[in-house]
Structure 1
Amino acid sequence: MSKSSVVIGKSGTGKTFVAAHLAMALGYLGQRTLLVGCDQKQDARRALSAEARPSLMEAVERAGFDYDQVHLDEVTAAVNAYVDVMELGPSQLIVGHYGSVLDEAFHLFTVRRLLEQYDQIVLDVSEERFDSAFAPLFRWVESAVAVSDDSAESLFVLNRLLRASLIGYYEFKFPLRIVGVVHNRTRQEHAFRRYIERTQCFPLMTIPEEEGLGHLRHFHKTLF
C-alpha cells in the first residue's frame, strides 16, 4: 500500500513546483511515485514536462462512470522509470468545490487497486480544495507539506489550511500529519519568521526565487 502526501498552500505560491520536486526526489530514491494534479489548469503534468494525457475525470465521464472501462494507462504519463503523473480535472463534477472529484477519484483508486502499484502518492492541490474538515482528502492523506511565500495573504491562507488540518486530526481522527512549511520565492523572511515563531510550525527549507530551480530533469538535482 502506498504512502500519501499532499502539498498545500495559497494559489500562486509554487505548490506545483514543490510537489514536482518532491515526486522526482522520491523517484530518485527508488520509490515508485505518482504525482496527482488536483487542479483544472493541469500544472503538474507541465511541471514535469510529461506528455499530454486526458484527465482521469474525462476518462471516467467518457466511460459512463464504469470504472472497469477506464484505462488508467491512457491517463497516466511516465516521466521516468520511477515517476508517473496524472491529472484529475477538469470535470463537469466541479461545481463550487473539488470534493466530489476527489471522492470519485479515490474511490476509483481503491476499486482498481491503483494505490498498490506505487510506493508514494503525491497530491498537488490548491487552497479551495482543502478547507473543510469533511473533505475526502483528509480521509486518505497521511502527511502534508505546506508552502508559502512572503506575502501576508499567503500566510493567512496557510494558517486557515493548517487549522483545518488540525481540526480533522483532533476532532475527526483523520491520520493527516503536518510535516512542515516550505518558504518559497523568498525575498525577505521577516513575516515568515514571525509566523513560524508564533505557530511553532517546522520550517522545512527556504527557496530563493531562481528560474533555474524549475528544471527537474537533471539527475539528483532536486530540492529534497
Structure 2
Amino acid sequence: MSAPDDGVSAIPLSQLTEYLRMEAAQEPDAIATGPVTKETQIIAIYGKGGIGKSFTLANLSYMMAQQGKKVLLIGCDPKSDTTSLLFGGRACPTIIETSSKKKLAGEEVKIGDVCFKRDGVFAMELGGPEVGRGCGGRGIIHGFETLEKLGFHEWGFDYVLLDFLGDVVCGGFGLPIARDMCQKVIVVGSNDLQSLYVANNVCSAVEYFRKLGGNVGVAGMVINRDDGTGEAASFAQHVGIPVLATIPANDDIRRKSANYEIVGRPGSQWGPLFAELAENVHNSVPMRPTPLSQDGLLGLFSAHSTGRDYVLTPATEFDMCGKTEIVKTSLEVVYDNV
C-alpha cells in the first residue's frame, strides 16, 4: 500500500490513520446565513426533435436580455443547433469538440473558447459525439463536468436555459431532473401525437424522480405551431400544468426563422408574445404533473386520427409457419400426493 499523492505522501504509513482521523474531526465551514444576492433560475426545456425548442429558446432568451436580465443559453442537443438562430446560422464551437482538441494539445479549456454572446445573451453548446462513435447521453454528462470545472455554480446569471432533446430517455438527457440540477422543466409541444407523447414522457420522468425525493417540477408548456385544434391545450389541462404561451402556425414566423431572424424583439409584431412568455416563465411555479396513460394520451385525439378503436388480432402458428399449430405433450413430471 502506498500513501496517496495529495500532500500526505510525506507522512509515514504508521501515522496515516491518525492523520486521517484528525482531518475527519475538523469542523466544516459555517453555513452561509447572509442575504441571497443572486438567485438563478435554472430551467430545462424538453421537447420532440424539430418541435421548435431552439426557436422558442433563442427568441425567449433574446427577449429576456432586452428586458435587462442576464441570460445563459446552453444547448444540450447533440445536433448542436440550439444557438444557430441566435448567431445567424453560424455553428458555435462545442464544449466536447473544444475539450478534445485542447486535451490533445495539453491545454485547458477557457470560458472564451466555448461561450459566446450576442446583445446580452450568453450562449454555448455542449455538443455530442460523431454518429456511431459514442453515447450522446454520456457526452452531455461530460459537458456538464467541464462546465463545473469552468465555475458553472459561481456564475451570476438571472436565468440559465437548458435545451434538451426529449425523444431520448437515457441517463444523460435526464440529468437535470435526476440530479435536481434545475428548478423547473418546461415542455414544448404541438397539436400532434408524437410531440405530446414526448411531453408526457418528460412528465413521467419528473413524477418518477419526485417519488424518489426529487424537487424538480414542470412549470408549464409552450404550444408551438398552434393550428387551433386544441389537443396540446387539452393535454396540459389533463396533466395539470399551465400553458405559458401559444405560438401560432404562422408563415411570417416560419419564413423569418428559416432566415435565422429573431422575431422576439421589443417593438416587433411578435415581441409582445415573447415578452408575455418571459413574464410567465419568471412567475411559473414547479408543479408535480399527472402523466397520462397511453390510452389517455390517445384519447386526446379522434379515433380516426389515431386508429385507437382497432382491435388487436392475435397471430397464429399457421400465420407464422404456414401450418397448423402442433400441440406438444408437456414433459412436466407430476407427483401423486403421498
- Give the TM-score, by structure 1 length: 0.85
Q: Of 52, 60, 64, which residue of structure 2 is paired with 1:26?
A: 64
Distance change (3 Å), C-alpha of 1:133 and 1:124:
closer
Question: Gaps (5+ residues) in structure 2?
Answer: 1-38, 278-338
Contact 2:190 2:225 in 1 (8 A): yes
> Over residues 112-138 of structure 1, what are the superposed CA-to-partner deviations in whole Å (9 max), with x where a residue is unaligned?
213423412111111144565993222
Establish whether residue 55 from structure 1 lines up as the match of residue 94 from structure 2: yes
Contact 1:97 1:128 in 2 (8 A): no
Q: Of 193, 197, 207, which residue of structure 1 is paired with 2:247?
A: 207
Establish whether residue 154 from structure 1 lines up as the match of residue 195 from structure 2: yes
State the AA in 1 paired with 2:262: L
> Over residues 19-51 of structure 1, what are the superposed CA-to-partner deviations in whole Å (9 max), with x where a residue is unaligned?
112212321232221111112322222111255
Matches within 5 A, 1:56-71: 56-64=95-103, 69-71=108-110
User: CA–CA distance in 1 between the matches of 2:186 and 2:197?
Assistant: 16
Deviates more, 1:45-54 or 1:3-12: 45-54
Q: Of 190, 206, 215, which residue of structure 2 is paired with 1:175?
A: 215
State the AA in 1 paired with 2:118: V
Partner SS, residue 183 of structure 1: strand
Deviates more, 1:149-158 or 1:128-137: 128-137
Establish whether residue 72 from structure 1 lines up as the match of residue 111 from structure 2: yes
Distance change (3 Å), C-alpha of 1:200 and 1:189:
farther
Which residue does 2:164 correspond to in 1?
A: 125
Contact 2:45 2:185 in 1 (8 A): yes
Contact 2:77 2:164 in 1 (8 A): yes
- Give the TM-score, by structure 2 length: 0.58
User: CA–CA distance in 2 between the matches of 1:133 and 1:112?
Assistant: 19
Partner SS, residue 46 of structure 1: coil
Greater relative CO, 1 or 2 (CA 8 Å, sep 6+): 1
Establish whether residue 100 from structure 1 lines up as the match of residue 100 from structure 2: no
Q: How many residues align?
A: 222
User: CA–CA distance in 2 between the matches of 1:41 and 1:110?
Assistant: 22
Deviates more, 1:56-65 or 1:8-17: 56-65
User: CA–CA distance in 1 between the matches of 2:82 and 2:240?
Assistant: 30
Instruction: Report deviation, 1:95.
Output: 6.0
Question: Gaps (5+ residues) in structure 1?
Answer: none
Which residue does 1:193 correspond to in 2?
A: 233
Instruction: Report deviation, 1:93.
Output: 10
Distance change (3 Å), C-alpha of 1:97 and 1:216:
same
Which residue does 2:224 correspond to in 1?
A: 184
> Over residues 118-172 of structure 1, what are the superposed CA-to-partner deviations in whole Å (9 max), with x where a residue is unaligned?
412111111144565993222212211111111112111211111111212232x
Partner SS, residue 42 of structure 1: coil
Which residue does 2:302 correspond to in 1?
A: none
User: CA–CA distance in 2 between the matches of 1:52 and 1:41?
Assistant: 10
User: CA–CA distance in 2 between the matches of 1:207 and 1:16?
Assistant: 14
Matches within 5 A, 1:130-149: 130=169, 132=171, 135-138=174-177, 139=179, 140-149=181-190
Which residue does 1:42 correspond to in 2?
A: 80
Based on CA coordinates, which of the two structures has the bigger radius of gyration?
Answer: 2
Partner SS, residue 45 of structure 1: coil
Deviates more, 1:22-31 or 1:208-217: 208-217
Contact 1:67 1:108 in 2 (8 A): no
* Aligned alpha-carbon RMSD (Å): 2.8
Partner SS, residue 64 of structure 1: helix
Structure (1/2) with the larger strand percentage: 1
State the AA in 1 paired with 2:98: A
Identity rate, percent? 22
Deviates more, 1:121-130 or 1:200-209: 121-130
